Structure formats: C-alpha cells, structure tokens
Structure 1
Amino acid sequence: MPIARTPDPQFLKMLSGYGLTFAEILYRMPDHPAFLQTFSWQFEDIAPEYPRLRRFLDHWKRDVEASIHSVRVMHQGLIQPREIRLVQEAGYLN
C-alpha cells in the first residue's frame, strides 16, 4: 500500500517565494529624542515587496509614539529553483 505524502507547509511557503528576512529599525522616543534606539526582528517575508514588514511599519506609524529614523532590511531566499531536484527511489514513488 503506498504511503500518502503531503508536502510540508513550510516547504510550500519556500517554493512560493518566502525567505528569511531580518529588519533593524532605528527609532527615537518622544521623551528622549537624543537617543537612537533599535528594534530587531527576524521573520519570513517575500522580497522585494515585503508585505509583512510593510504591515508592521504601517502599524508602527499608526499606533506607536516612537518616530522611525531608518530601517535596514536583509533577506535571503530559503530555496532557489536550481536547488530543487525531483528524485524517484525505486519502490517508493511507483
């Protein structure tokens, strides 16, 4: 009897373009404008649009009193098309 295989949801996200994203946000609080503070965040997002990061920054501008000085973004795709290779083992995928 063949084994039912379902793809891993994380793997499907990688195939659809998600990658590891790191954002460093430098900001100033209104009560201490001379101090530059940092917020670092690592998450999965799609480059170059970064929809998750954009939602977070929209939330920040709307609901957080701190003003953003700058945002630095680093992104690495977790899987590349050249890394995908279908392999068929005798007896398993028949």
Structure 2
Amino acid sequence: MTDRALLAQLDGYGLTFAEIHYYRPDAPSLLQLFVWQEYDLAPDFPVLLGFLDHWRREIEAALHSVRIAHERLIRPAEWRAVDGVLSIR
C-alpha cells in the first residue's frame, strides 16, 4: 500500500493551508473562519481553486477573503562547504 501524501510530495506538491473567511448565510454581518489543508502545487494551486469553485457552486456562504500559506516539504538538501579539518583519534 502506498501513501498518497508521500507520492504527492514526490510529484512536487507541497502542503497548502488556506484561511477562508466567509459571511454566514443566517447572519450576513458576521464573518466566520474555515481552515483548509491539502497538498497542492504552487503557484497555480489547482486543488485549492477546485475547492473554492465547489464552495461557490454548492455552499450558500459568500466568500470574503482567502489567505494562503504553502511549503514544499521535500526538496533538495541544503549544504554548505566548511573550511577546516576535524581529527578524530
């Protein structure tokens, strides 16, 4: 059995968080917060945009704003050259 999240990361997907503020349908003067998390491709965010399209079509709550945070978890290792020698005896 394979892990879907690991396979997505190997394909270049990173962990994406969206903070979605929307107006409540029963109290339009109040803002509500919904937090969404999924693996997605930056900078186009096709998974998030698909979710937001679904929201606009199927959910009665009107969107106010969306804040996005994204981090690629698997990437080339970082290294730096060190000038010196360490002797172990």
User: Same-fold call, TM > 0.5?
Assistant: yes
**C-alpha separation between the residues in 1 aligned to 2:68 and 2:74?**
19
Alignment of 1:13-32 (within 5 A): 13-32=8-27
Q: How many residues align?
A: 77
Q: CA deviation at 1:29?
A: 1.9
**C-alpha separation between the residues in 2 aligned to 1:68 and 1:9?**
30
Structure 1 9/40 Cα, relative in aligned 2: closer, same or farther at 3 Å? closer
Q: CA deviation at 1:10?
A: 4.0
Identity %: 56
Cα RMSD after superposing both structures: 1.9
**C-alpha separation between the residues in 2 aligned to 1:9 and 1:36?**
34
Moved segments of 4+, more than 3 Å: 7-12
Q: Which of 57, 62, 72 lines up with 1:62 in the alignment? A: 57
TM-score, normalised to structure 1, is 0.72
Structure 1 unaligned residues grouped into runs of 5+: 1-6, 84-94
The answer for the alignment partner of 1:73 in structure 2 is: 68
Q: Which of 50, 53, 58 lines up with 2:48 in the alignment? A: 53
Higher strand content, 1 or 2 = 1
Q: CA deviation at 1:26?
A: 0.1
Give secondary structure in 1 for the equivalent of 2:71. Answer: strand
TM-score, normalised to structure 2, is 0.76
The answer for the alignment partner of 1:36 in structure 2 is: 31
